[in-house]
Structure 1
Amino acid sequence: MTTDTSSTLQRGLKSRHIRFIALGSAIGTGLFYGSSESIKTAGPGVLLAYLIGGAAVFLVLRSLGEMAVSSPSAGSFGEYATKYLGKLPGFLTGWTYALEMIVVCLADITALGLYMGFWFPDVPRWIWLLAAVAVIGVMNLFSVKVFGELEFWLSFAKIVAIVAMILGGFAILVFGIGGDSGASISNLWDHGGFLPNGVEGLVLSFAVVMFAFGGTEIIGVTAGEAQNPEKTIPQAVNSIPVRIMLFYVLTLAVLMSLDPWKHIGSEGSPFVEIFAGLGVTAAAGVLNLVVIIAALSAINSDIFAAGRIMYGMAERGQAPKVMRKVSRNGVPTMTVGIMIGALLLGVVLNYLMPERIFLVIASIATFATVWVWLMILLSQVSARRKMTPEEVAELKYPAPFWPYGQIITIVFMAGVVVLLAFSEDSRIALIVGGVWLALMTSVFYLFVRPGLRRAEAVAGETADAAPSAEPVKAAPRA
């Protein structure tokens, strides 16, 4: 497929595409597999953690929506941070988001291998991952319209499956399908209470819970390719509370009612494990297919987002120019290739260390995700402080609860980063995150800033050399 640096991204995403792309990134491994880790940490009280975390993420997205509607951009996070916080924060935000998407893809593809083990336990995990990389790579080389349509149907399948699972769970609870299974809503408080591990367990669960919400910020990235950002972005953001209630809280409440929270393991998706344990093998098989589709959908969305964010950075001189290459269909092929390379790295890691890889990767993804959310909040706060009262009044989609909601959310996000230090498996995320930020800061000062200064100098000289638009008046005679 030919590429051209003069081509640009295309505005081919409709409202339904954007809403479902956000769903595709948010409803994936964090819910279908990662929820088992958060349930083991907090017990049924994890429902409260998802509500609190979801409220914080909603405010982040409203802050992002305020900026995205005012100034739609394909490289939104890095561009907003550059504009309102400075060039270094913008550079770090853009590249940390790219890191987030890479690491989340690694987590998703790791979970995909675990799901395939439900049907083919004797087949090495890496074989399935390699096949998935090939399929996803082809999917991301189509035009943005084709991508949006494909992601719409993948996400639609997930939503239908989750709703069917909730209804099926209610049927088991009400009509006792599955015999003497012990399914009862009282499972939410009978096995050690609603908070069996106390407030400490609830607090520690946020380190995994917030990973589940990672990817919702892709709404901002899609603004650059949305046909009507002023309409589509608010619609997508406003649907977040309903999604949190339905796809996280209600789903997990049904799940933990069907089987006591202590029985949930981490050998596969807890959704599949519970229905298989209840003897509803047909439902378990269907759900396993759904979680595989969910993983593919999430990876697909993440590759899309990372490609667009790196394209935007290349346009601002914060990434190599080669990342500006796009195909005739408007696809940034070079950045898609980089993400495919990262997925191949995931195949190798799953071959070398299959046991601990998911929790380690999820922790690193949480660090990168929360960093990006913090930068979004700080960018919006800085932007608001520079506005006059008249400019604030003209905002078409202002973030609510200003400024106290933003301050509380910033403190909450910083606290989630600190929580990563309290677990041996997640502590590595702080080390990797610190090294990453130090490395990228060095890259900025050594390579990026000198290039930006040269570009600014050339632009200044060109402006000085340009003829004046106004005619030169003759000097008055003495």
Structure 2
Amino acid sequence: MSDSPTTVPEHEHLDRGLNPRHVQFIALGTAIGTGLFYGSSETIQAAGPAVLVAYAVAGFMVYIVMRALGEMAVRHPVAGSFAQYAGSFLGPYAGFIVGWVFWLELAVVAIADMTAVATYMGLWFPSVPGWVWMAAAIALIGALNLMAVRVFGEMEFWFSLIKVTAIIALVVGGLALILWGREVGGTTPDVAHLWSHDGFAPFGLWGIIMSFSVVVFSFGGIETLGMTAGEADDPEHSIARAVNTVPFRILLFYVAALAVIMSIIPWDEVTGESSPFVEVFAALQVPAAQHVMNFVVLTAALSAMNAIFYACSRTMYGLAEQGHAPRSFLHLSPRAHIPIYPVLCMFGAGAVGLVLFLVIEDRLFFFVAAIASFATVFTWLMILLAHWRMRAGMARAGVAPTGFAMPFFPILNVIAMAFMVGVIVLLATTESGRNAFFVGAGALVLLTIAWFTLVRDEGRAPIVLEDAAHLSGDSSRV
């Protein structure tokens, strides 16, 4: 295998077309998706109000992962992000596995988002088959991702702004209703709903643990933020700023929003037939509010799909730079400078989702959510390991951590990695997650076979090299 770095002709480089505003809202878009607006009904039913603890714990682990990724992205802003980092600091095989597992993660999350789109549109057009809306969503989001990256950034900005505004309005309006304390639409909002229906944790610690698989899915894709480093105008500041907002976003958009929801309607009245956000406004019988919120959750699903198409295409581009994907994936469109073939591959993933929807419509969302959870925690685990190896290389080279360094290293890495391993064990040992575990483990086996039979001798050194020059903070392109 060649030891020289991969080089791509200058005209084939991705454009730096994402400004700090785009990066901030891409981070919001990936943090607030279908897992919150739709999947939260499953977590509420699994753990009751104690699901707030699950979101807080998982959210803290996500913050650790994002700090690790942020430190690497600030030092080495490249396309492909953590697949490149894994290849550099853990070896080419790890880079290949991480890149394709991340692609699998987001591809199945996109299928879940498509399923949610079908559910939301069903409120307005109950007689139209769900697959029609899924196909329309694929066509719309795919077309947006074939345009210039600034178009993608602008669309994600407005998609995210809509759902962020709606959640803030829900929290503020919900708190007002709780303080008012009067019956509205047949229900009386009260914080006491969080503990007066069989207690705060009606299913005990096990209920909290069992909710982790879907909770992790809710946060899956947040690492997409690292993908923007290769196309951000000022990655050193924009990435760091976006990562530092993760705790606030989790507390507001997950913990606070769900606490308000379960204070307005008791947790045991959340049916799961639609988004809990829509159910709240339906219960309050506010004119047209149910339809407005349905529009918001629809926007959230489309926003998540938009970010996923972007992240998957850039992952494939980064893999191709390392020789881990067909070299044709490096081809960019002449005007927009978009990796065309990776975007088109996402149309294929959407077609697979359509077929699955026709076969297992009733449980498709939660089946793919479990698969995505496995791929998510595996990706996070590898990010933490790559970061650890980077810091070890810095220590050997005598380079002091500067800039956006992980606090309390390596203690937080160890805590987060233990959590990731625990979630994988949970999936492997529970009935609801076992099939997804086997799918994920089977994918790892197939990828390993592909590496040794098709890729190993074709791979090239990753863009980021583990040497003193790079570890010292030189983030120039090679």
Deviation at 1:129, TM superposition (A): 1.0
Is 1:407 aligned to 2:414, yes or no? yes
Deviation per CA, 1:255-290: give whole Å up to 9, x if none. Answer: 000111111122111110121122124211110000
Is 1:375 aligned to 2:382, yes or no? yes
Deviation at 1:5, TM superposition (A): 10
Is 1:133 aligned to 2:133, yes or no? no
Is 1:28 aligned to 2:33, yes or no? yes
Structure 2 equivalent of residue 73 of structure 1: 78
Deviation per CA, 1:125-161: give whole Å up to 9, x if none. Answer: 1111111111111111110111111111110111111
Deviation per CA, 1:182-214: give whole Å up to 9, x if none. Answer: 321100000011111001101111111111111
Deviation at 1:360, TM superposition (A): 0.5
Which of 61, 69, 73 aligns to 1:64? It is 69
Residue identity matched to 2:103: A
Deviation at 1:423, TM superposition (A): 3.3
Which of 233, 239, 260 aligns to 1:254? It is 260
Residue identity matched to 2:56: L
Deviation per CA, 1:70-91: give whole Å up to 9, x if none. Answer: 1111111111111111111111
Is 1:154 aligned to 2:159, yes or no? yes
Structure 2 equivalent of residue 124 of structure 1: 129
Deviation per CA, 1:81-127: give whole Å up to 9, x if none. Answer: 11111111111000001111101100111111111112222221111
Q: Distance in 2 between matches of 1:52 and 1:18?
A: 25
Q: Report if aligned partners of 1:7, 1:327 keep a CA contact under 8 Å in 2.
A: no
Is 1:99 aligned to 2:95, yes or no? no
Residue identity matched to 1:81: A
Is 1:274 aligned to 2:280, yes or no? yes
Moved >6 Å (runs of 4+): none
Q: Report if aligned partners of 1:140, 1:304 keep a CA contact under 8 Å in 2.
A: yes
Deviation at 1:174, TM superposition (A): 2.6
Q: Report if aligned partners of 1:171, 1:177 keep a CA contact under 8 Å in 2.
A: no
Which of 145, 150, 169 aligns to 2:150? It is 145
Q: Report if aligned partners of 2:394, 2:401 keep a CA contact under 8 Å in 1.
A: no
Deviates more, 1:408-417 or 1:121-130: 121-130
Cα 1:17/1:177, change in 2 over 3 Å: farther
Deviates more, 1:53-62 or 1:112-121: 112-121
Counterpart secondary structure, 2:196: coil
Q: Report if aligned partners of 2:185, 2:286 keep a CA contact under 8 Å in 1.
A: no
Q: Structure 1 stretches of 5 or more lacking a match?
A: 457-478
Which of 204, 210, 230 aligns to 1:224? It is 230
Q: Distance in 2 between matches of 1:215 and 1:180?
A: 38
Which of 241, 245, 261 aligns to 1:239? It is 245
Deviation per CA, 1:151-176: give whole Å up to 9, x if none. Answer: 11110111111111112222322333
Structure 1 equivalent of residue 446 of structure 2: 439
Deviation at 1:179, TM superposition (A): 4.5
Structure 2 equivalent of residue 173 of structure 1: 178
Structure 1 equivalent of residue 213 of structure 2: 207
Q: Report if aligned partners of 1:359, 1:426 keep a CA contact under 8 Å in 2.
A: no
Q: Report if aligned partners of 2:183, 2:189 keep a CA contact under 8 Å in 1.
A: no
Which of 88, 91, 100 aligns to 1:86? It is 91
Q: Distance in 2 between matches of 1:133 and 1:408?
A: 38
Is 1:313 aligned to 2:340, yes or no? no
Residue identity matched to 1:87: P
Q: Report if aligned partners of 2:142, 2:309 keep a CA contact under 8 Å in 1.
A: no
Deviation at 1:391, TM superposition (A): 4.7
Q: Report if aligned partners of 1:110, 1:350 keep a CA contact under 8 Å in 2.
A: yes
Which of 328, 353, 372 aligns to 1:322? It is 328
Cα 1:65/1:392, change in 2 over 3 Å: farther
Which of 265, 275, 299 aligns to 1:293? It is 299
Q: Distance in 2 between matches of 1:317 and 1:41?
A: 43
Q: Which has the larger radius of gyration?
A: 1
Counterpart secondary structure, 2:459: helix
Deviation per CA, 1:402-458: give whole Å up to 9, x if none. Answer: 1111111101111011111343232111100111000000000001012238x99xx
Deviation at 1:177, TM superposition (A): 5.7
Deviation at 1:298, TM superposition (A): 0.3
Deviation per CA, 1:236-258: give whole Å up to 9, x if none. Answer: 10010110011000000000001
Residue identity matched to 1:409: A
Deviates more, 1:391-400 or 1:181-190: 391-400
Structure 1 equivalent of residue 190 of structure 2: 184
Counterpart secondary structure, 1:118: helix
Mapping of residues 393-472 of structure 1, within 5 Å: 393-452=400-459
Deviation per CA, 1:203-238: give whole Å up to 9, x if none. Answer: 111111111111110111110001111111100100
Q: Distance in 2 between matches of 1:16 and 1:177?
A: 41
Q: Report if aligned partners of 2:69, 2:226 keep a CA contact under 8 Å in 1.
A: yes
Structure 2 equivalent of residue 461 of structure 1: none
Q: Structure 2 stretches of 5 or more lacking a match?
A: 1-8, 463-478
Deviation at 1:392, TM superposition (A): 4.5
Q: Report if aligned partners of 1:25, 1:299 keep a CA contact under 8 Å in 2.
A: no
Deviation at 1:335, TM superposition (A): 0.5
What is the number of residues matched between the two proteins? 452
Q: Distance in 1 between matches of 2:416 and 2:459?
A: 33
Q: Report if aligned partners of 1:326, 1:332 keep a CA contact under 8 Å in 2.
A: yes
Structure 1 equivalent of residue 476 of structure 2: none
Aligned-residue CA RMSD (Å)? 1.7
Which of 373, 377, 396 aligns to 1:366? It is 373
What is the aligned-residue identity percentage?
A: 49
Cα 1:208/1:394, change in 2 over 3 Å: closer
Residue identity matched to 1:143: A
Counterpart secondary structure, 2:222: coil
Is 1:115 aligned to 2:153, yes or no? no
Deviation at 1:377, TM superposition (A): 0.1
Structure 1 equivalent of residue 44 of structure 2: 39
Q: Distance in 1 between matches of 2:401 and 2:211?
A: 40
Deviation at 1:180, TM superposition (A): 3.9
Residue identity matched to 1:246: L
Deviates more, 1:121-130 or 1:285-294: 121-130
Structure 1 equivalent of residue 5 of structure 2: none
Residue identity matched to 1:153: W
Deviation per CA, 1:363-393: give whole Å up to 9, x if none. Answer: 0000011111000000011111122377542
Q: Report if aligned partners of 1:22, 1:215 keep a CA contact under 8 Å in 2.
A: no
Cα 1:391/1:171, change in 2 over 3 Å: same
Is 1:336 aligned to 2:343, yes or no? yes
Q: Distance in 2 between matches of 1:430 and 1:238?
A: 32
Q: Report if aligned partners of 1:18, 1:232 keep a CA contact under 8 Å in 2.
A: yes
Q: Report if aligned partners of 1:105, 1:299 keep a CA contact under 8 Å in 2.
A: yes
